[in-house]
């Protein structure tokens, strides 16, 4: 409880207080009321809405692709021999537990203009592709690296959910003559829907908090094309010396994530089945 108080509760309260001040990193605080929030939401800071759009686009694409690929791979792991399934789960999970900074720097070496990927393409006569210097390609590279990094967690969770299925129900579905496609969507998916719901909530929250990938891979560029909310508030707080504005941005992000999570919980009755 002391750790929760000193490292969670007090910093949360402090950040809320700081968000109402023009607060320099090196001291000197001036109370400005809701000016930080007004500047942010009114468009006085043109970069804010660009950064918010980038974050939302990344969160939507990352969540959809992550869940689709993770569910597909988890379902495939159920169909191969157990020893190979265990090995593949370990391989998929390794990027999750390796340092994000190291992973991002390796991907940067792979994708920069003179990197391994472009050198390999050059052997086939293909001109270098600006993976990290074109707005669309940079966002795609950020998504690809993030998927490689984060897929393993959902694969392990979903595999655990699939391992807990009632085998008698699956056998009955086979006897009734269902094919693999119908069996998955009409039998398997409803039974693992609570697990999928958990993965969806956690993936969305993680996607909105993305920081290390754009920081190390693209530095938020080119321009603001891969700049995200957490990266932008970090820069405002520790590079631009605007702790008050950064704190206000953090609270706006908190409210956005909280509302999206609440919306997910209100909609779970439409597709989540807890009776399996």
Angle separating helix axes 243-267 and 35-42, nearest 10 degrees: 60
Phi–psi pair at 139, nearest 5 degrees = -65, -40
The C-alpha atoms of residue 138 and residue 118 are separated, in whole angstroms, by: 14
Q: What stretch of H or E contains 184?
A: none
Could you state, in order of their start, the residue ranges of all structural domains in the chain?
13-269
Least confident of 31-35, 84-88, 178-182, 249-253: 178-182
The superfamily CATH assigns to domain 13-269 is MetI-like (1.10.3720.10)
The answer to whether 139 and 226 have CB atoms below 8 angstroms apart is: yes
Confidence class for position 10, pLDDT limits 50, 70, 90 = very high
State if pTM tops 0.85: yes
Reported as a single tens digit per residue, the pLDDT across 206-241 is 999 999 999 999 989 888 999 999 999 999 999 898
Residues 142-165, buried b or exposed e (16+ Cβ, 10 A)? bbebbbebbbbbbbbbbbebbeee
């Amino acid at each position: 409880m002391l750790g929760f108080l000193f490292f969670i509760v007090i910093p949360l309260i402090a950040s809320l207080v700081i968000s109402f001040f023009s607060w320099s990193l090196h001291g000197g605080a001036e109370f400005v009321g809701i000016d930080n929030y007004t500047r942010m939401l009114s468009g006085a800071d043109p970069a804010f809405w660009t950064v918010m759009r980038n974050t939302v686009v990344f969160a939507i694409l990352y969540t959809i692709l992550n869940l689709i690929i993770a569910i597909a791979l988890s379902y495939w792991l159920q169909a191969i021999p157990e020893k190979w399934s265990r090995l593949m789960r370990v391989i998929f999970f390794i990027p999750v537990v390796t340092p994000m900074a190291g992973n991002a720097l390796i991907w940067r070496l792979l994708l920069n203009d003179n990197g391994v990927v472009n050198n390999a393409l050059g052997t086939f006569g293909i001109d270098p592709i600006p993976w990290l210097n074109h707005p669309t390609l940079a966002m795609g590279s950020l998504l690809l690296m993030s998927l490689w990094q984060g897929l393993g967690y959902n694969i392990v969770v979903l595999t655990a959910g699939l391992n807990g299925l009632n085998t008698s129900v699956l056998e009955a579905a086979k006897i009734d003559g269902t094919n693999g496609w119908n069996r998955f969507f009409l039998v398997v998916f409803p039974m693992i829907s609570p697990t999928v719901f958990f993965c969806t909530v956690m993936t969305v929250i993680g996607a909105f908090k993305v920081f290390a990938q754009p920081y190390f891979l693209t530095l938020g560029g080119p321009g603001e094309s891969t700049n995200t909310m957490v990266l932008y508030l970090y820069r405002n707080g520790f590079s631009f010396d605007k702790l008050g504005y950064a704190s206000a941005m953090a609270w706006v992000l908190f409210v956005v994530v909280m509302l999206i999570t609440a919306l997910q919980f209100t909609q779970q009755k439409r597709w989540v089945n807890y009776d399996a």
